[in-house]
Structure 1
Amino acid sequence: MSISAPSLPAYFHEEILLHPENRVFPKFDLVRLLGTVFAPTEGCRVCILIDFDEPQDLIKDFSFLEHPGFPVQKNAHRHFYQALKDGALAELGMTGGEMYAYRCTHGSNLDLADDVWDTAGNHLSLDADIYPNHDIILCISTFSATAPLTAKCKEYGFRGATLHGLNDIILNSGLSVDYHEVSADSERLRAALTNADSIEIDFALEDGRILTAWLGLDGQDAQKSHGLCLGKTPDIANLPAGEVYFVPADARGQFPMKYEDGTLGVLDVENRCIIRSTLIQGDQETINAHNARLADDPMTGTLGELGFGTQVLPVSGADIQDEKVLGTCHLATGRDDHLGGDILPNMFKKHENSTHDDILFAPHKTPNFNISQVRMNRGEQREILIENFRPARYLIDALAADR
């Protein structure tokens, strides 16, 4: 890869793009993060939501701090709750800072039950006690709550951020960046991709096969997850941010899938829906279970998102950051109403099926296959976007524009 764009910041240059773990970040600063993401903060009442299987027991008197495990929730307490109480509230001109716990959903973007508990052990209601009484809600949880909180913020008028899977790498990289820069770079890439008619992704398998997935976009406006919730407009930021995304209008072809147990399969797509999985290697029972789920509730195979990362970040081990890395892309199945799509929770056979599940393609996540090329078609324009998990010249030039 050769990059010759002197106007780009150092972290977009070849050495760092190839080794993003070598990028130097400023120390995490909660005041800087919240002050940038939510300006203005003066007069805002803020709270923190975390999740447990048994919240009524673990949140009371912060008893979870005395138990093993719960790394996300302990990070929420140390770096957000405690930091707010230790001076960040005053610096930001905010009030509140309380912590509440709800019952873990055990699924990405499933709707939250209304039950919630405070640190005194009181049983409260999200709809009656939390949403209408806070201006900013920070949800630091095991599973993403972006979709349900996006719906609730429009109903109740609050702003917020979802930070599921929070770990030390994310704190010291994806949450330590300047979100004005992230927003500007996301807009540069959004402008470069908006109104695309279609995207084609080639996947090179270890056995020599090339699979191609075609995503029809119908010239729609590209959207961005850029991390800023400015003003008073109800909105939810998914942090770390840094993504350009579309809601597919159609899809066909094939793409590989690496399951949680390491099994590899080829997914066949027709009319925007995954219709079957076929084993490449691993456990046939994993493939059978996926096919049974598709047969029982076909909506679970509907493609609801195509996304591209825009940031230069180290691998964190959590998709919330790793899908924001420049040179990666991801598809998602399931609900997409929070992205402006038409797949709603009530369209699924069972509530627990109405998830939004990302399928990330990245070197650390899917080492068994390569994204050999991603192409954009827009009218008569044809552009290569990604080759071998690296941004192609078209994206690099877009990032260098207007600096």
Structure 2
Amino acid sequence: MSAAMPTVQTTANSRTFPKFDLYRLLHTVFQPTFGCKVCILIDLPDLAEAQGMAFLENPERAVQRQAHKHFYLGLKNGVLDELAMKGGEMYAYQQTGGSNLDLPDECVDMEGKALSLEKDIYPNYDIILCISTFSATAPLTAFAKQYGFRGATLHGLNDIILNTGLAVDYDEVSRDAEKLRLAMTKADSVEIDFALESGEILTAKLELSGQEAQKSHGLCRGTTPDVANLPAGEVYFVPTGAEGFFPMKYENGTLGKLTVTGGRIIKSELIAGDQATIDVHNAKLQDDPMTGVLGELGFGTQVLPVSGADIQDEKVLGTCHMATGRDDHLGGHITPAQFKRHQNATHDDILFAPHKTPNFDIKQVRMQRGDQHEILIEHFQPAKYLLEALAAE
């Protein structure tokens, strides 16, 4: 147990984090009851690697090896008993190849035995921990509601995330997220100004229609089926519309100017980099227009170091992100059935952060809520309004 919590110093900032403690994480997030049954899911490109845990010998399976070392062995080596839980088994399913694509039903145990997620796993566990390469939050949330389990998705797990974003006190994370949620909830709209190196300013306006802001705060307690996304620490909205322009940095470094109208990206234009990358994106937008729909606007709420994985980096205070694609797991109405092609039914975050997008700046983020006008972020730093909200008792 964690009576005395040793600490580790990060070099990314001056914050000191407690040492990762699986007992503390699971106890805080879930408050599991006596006899609660837990399992771990991982994804593998070849399910044959599950037999005899062969993936442990493959250096390319870094996430899956983290799952084994810190969660599987952690449960087996005392945490199950300390929390009075049962289970601790690990199963693998076929990698989906995309963020939040629907999960296949077939899975295997660590002896290679073929099983069914819907028949053998979902109905038989109270808590499911999914530690994967690609995010499974959207499909797992839907299955949680169907089968009644709780869970957490921890895709892209690495050492920095383990020692910072998963080592924090999630009661504190939840309190801070609620303070910022109240500061932004029922906003009518948010405008974001992006300053390019050329001096051009692009502005995107996202309509929010006075909706209640939601929070990803890491707590998944009680009996209500739900899935926490860890690390947590985010306030988010499902946009009801959007107009304007914003820049996007593609994986190969190409920078594009995206035109948004009617809540959907309709085209990309080259700012710098590879024209072919822009052409591919435009062809996808034309072929399957739902891929351009903006399904989320999110704001980070935590002080964390950059991890190199968006799952943590989008939770950093002073950053914001949009996402395209399905949003049914966020309370929206965009489901996989609305996409022309199954492989396009993803939920893809577009993160705006200094380390991720150094070739443009978030000059300012502004919120309108009735007659109230507030600056939320300037130059990737939380503005006075948000800092005062966090400081409030």
Q: TM-score range by the shorter chain?
A: over 0.9
| Residue aligning to 2:335 | 344
1:275 and 1:294 in contact (8 A); partners too: yes
User: What are the Cα deviations for residues 8-30 of structure 1, in whole angstroms up to 9, with x where unaligned?
Assistant: xxxxxxxx9xx853311000000
Count of residue pairs the alignment pairs up: 384
| Residue aligning to 2:5 | none
Instruction: Indicate whether 1:26 and 2:15 are aligned.
Output: no
1:309 and 1:324 in contact (8 A); partners too: yes
Percentage identity across paired residues of the two chains: 71
Counterpart mapping for 1:186-335 below 5 A: 186-335=177-326
Whole-angstrom CA distance in 1 between matches of 2:154 and 2:135: 7
1:21 and 1:315 in contact (8 A); partners too: no
- Counterpart of 1:359 (choices 350, 356, 359) is 350
Find the residue that maps to 2:59 and give its secondary structure: coil
2:32 and 2:85 in contact (8 A); partners too: no
- Counterpart of 1:52 (choices 44, 67, 85) is 44
Find the residue that maps to 2:139 and give its secondary structure: helix
Whole-angstrom CA distance in 2 between matches of 1:89 and 1:75: 18
| Residue aligning to 1:9 | none
Find the residue that maps to 1:371 and give its secondary structure: strand
- Counterpart of 2:150 (choices 144, 151, 159) is 159
Look up the equivalent residue of 1:400 and give its one-letter code: A
Whole-angstrom CA distance in 2 between matches of 1:246 and 1:20: 29
Whole-angstrom CA distance in 2 between matches of 1:263 and 1:90: 50
1:264 and 1:279 in contact (8 A); partners too: yes
Could you tell me how far 1:40 is from its partner in structure 2?
2.9
Which 4+ runs in 1 deviate beyond 2 A?
19-22
Find the residue that maps to 2:198 and give its secondary structure: coil
1:35 and 1:41 in contact (8 A); partners too: no
| Residue aligning to 1:75 | 66
Gaps of 5+ in 2: 1-9
| Residue aligning to 2:109 | 118
| Residue aligning to 1:91 | 82
Whole-angstrom CA distance in 2 between matches of 1:205 and 1:319: 22
Instruction: Indicate whether 1:103 and 2:108 are aligned.
Output: no
Could you tell me how far 1:43 is from its partner in structure 2?
1.4
User: What are the Cα deviations for residues 160-200 of structure 1, in whole angstroms up to 9, with x where unaligned?
Assistant: 00000000000000000000000000000000000000000
| Residue aligning to 1:11 | none
Whole-angstrom CA distance in 2 between matches of 1:384 and 1:213: 15
| Residue aligning to 2:6 | none
Whole-angstrom CA distance in 2 between matches of 1:113 and 1:77: 21
Instruction: Indicate whether 1:35 and 2:23 are aligned.
Output: no
Find the residue that maps to 1:360 and give its secondary structure: strand
User: What are the Cα deviations for residues 203-239 of structure 1, in whole angstroms up to 9, with x where unaligned?
Assistant: 0000000000000000000000000001111000000
Could you tell me how far 1:41 is from its partner in structure 2?
3.7
Find the residue that maps to 1:153 and give its secondary structure: helix
Could you tell me how far 1:291 is from its partner in structure 2?
0.2
Instruction: Indicate whether 1:127 and 2:118 are aligned.
Output: yes
Find the residue that maps to 1:59 and give its secondary structure: helix
Find the residue that maps to 2:315 and give its secondary structure: coil
- Counterpart of 1:64 (choices 55, 65, 68) is 55
Whole-angstrom CA distance in 1 between matches of 2:376 and 2:330: 22
More displaced stretch, 32-41 vs 359-368: 32-41
TM-score normalised over the length of structure 1: 0.94
